[in-house]
Amino acid sequence: MDTPVGLLFVLMSGTMVGCAMLPIRFMRKYRFENYWAIYNLVATCLIPWGLAFATIPNLLGVYKQLPFTTLLVPVLFAFSWGIASTLGGMCISRIGLSLTYAVTCGVGASAGALVPLLYFSPQTLGTKAGAWLLLGVAIIIIGIAVVAQAGREKEAQEKVASAAGQFQNPSKSFIQGSFGVGLAMAILAGILSAGLNFSFAFGQQISAAVGKNVSKLNATYAIWAIAMLGGMVPTLGYALILCARNKSWRRFAMSPVRDASLSVAMGVLFMGSVAFYGLGSIKLGLLGTSVGWAIMQVAQLAAGNVSGFLLGEWKIAGAHAVRRMFGGLAILTVASVVLAYSNYLQNIH
């Protein structure tokens, strides 16, 4: 197993998805539903099917020879991820941006790492590799909790500065609805977000059916192409409903170059991260969908916070919050090392 290459791929995956939403900062004319529609069309349909058709001969013939349930399972798991994406946005107004992100990433990392392990290789839990994996997941939860607290401090400072007229773009905080309901929604979103990993882990029969003439790495595109159709239904559907409700169809023509290109870039970053994750998990071996998923979540959280820091999002947060944020990222780095060691132990045995 090419573990170093696998680790590099999942780190690239996490970095790309952590930066996938950055283009939103530079939108001028598009509303949420406009860029969300283009982003999801590119990420869940155009790129995965383009990659699959380009690398797999007789792709549709491969699907035809498989049982319907084999194709349906990854689609349903990806559909749950699509619901999680929508739920996450609804949680922000109830419990705040940082806590929403921390809870969904923490729960998603834990569920996404442990469920495939328990299903495909439960005996691993009784080994040293399993013990190190559980330790790594526990450290992830601690690190995310620290980052979440830093985010709460940042949001509090932004709220004070906004009230004083010193800051015009505060992060949303938990000011609407029930905090308990919002927290429950965030936990559910975290669980459902792991569906993206489950769609890949439980879709291996699809890649196996591709045949020996296609590399294992390229065969992963056969999984993503069919699975992401499930994710497209709630995400793209929600955007189109908003376009109809808000009568924002005309906005697509208001910035056909700048905003449309930024929306496409979001889709490229996201689906690129998904592709790299699939490649990395194959390279990592037996624990690829457990260790790889957890490390990818860590890299995602780190990339999102570091890029936000570099773009000035933490400028008003204060030194204490910034130190806490980087301390949390240091803990997450330790978790990644522990998880990599777990994968090493599994591969040498």
* Residue range(s) defining the domain that contains residue 280: 3-348
pLDDT digits (tens, 9 = 90+) for 270-315: 999 999 999 999 888 877 888 888 888 888 888 887 887 887 777 8
pLDDT confidence tier of residue 93, bands split at 50, 70 and 90: low
For residue 91, pLDDT over 80 is answered with no
In the chain, what percentage of residues exceed pLDDT 90? 42
Average pLDDT over residues 169-189: 65
Tell me, what's the pLDDT at 106?
Answer: 79
Place of tokens 């729960």: 107
Cα-trace Rg, the chain:
20
Q: Considering only CA atoms, which of 269, 203, 286 is closest in space to residue 6?
A: 286
Average pLDDT over residues 30-53: 94
Of the listed ranges 10-19, 32-41, 89-98, 151-160, the one predicted with least confidence: 89-98
Please count the CA atoms within 13 angstroms of the CA of 129 that sit on its side-chain side. Answer: 21
Between 86 and 67, whose confidence is greater?
A: 67
pLDDT score of 179 more than 70: no
Q: Which residue has better confidence, 84 or 21? A: 84
pLDDT of 44 > 70? The answer is yes
Q: Position of tokens 């439960």?
A: 122
In this predicted structure, the answer to whether residue 174 has a pLDDT above a threshold of 50 is no
Of 228 and 286, more confident: 228
Q: What's the confidence (pLDDT) of residue 70?
A: 95
Q: Is the pLDDT of residue 77 over 90?
A: yes
How many structural domains is the chain composed of? Answer: 1
- Comparing 96-105, 155-164, 228-237, the range with the smallest average pLDDT is 96-105
The segment with the largest mean pLDDT, out of 34-43, 88-97, 133-142, 249-258, is: 34-43
175 has a pLDDT exceeding 60:
no
Residue 168 reports pLDDT greater than 60: no
Mean pLDDT of 181-207: 89
> What is the CA angle 152-156-161, rounded to 5?
145
Average pLDDT on 10-21 reads 90
pLDDT bucket at 1, cuts 50 / 70 / 90: low
Mean pLDDT of 310-330: 85
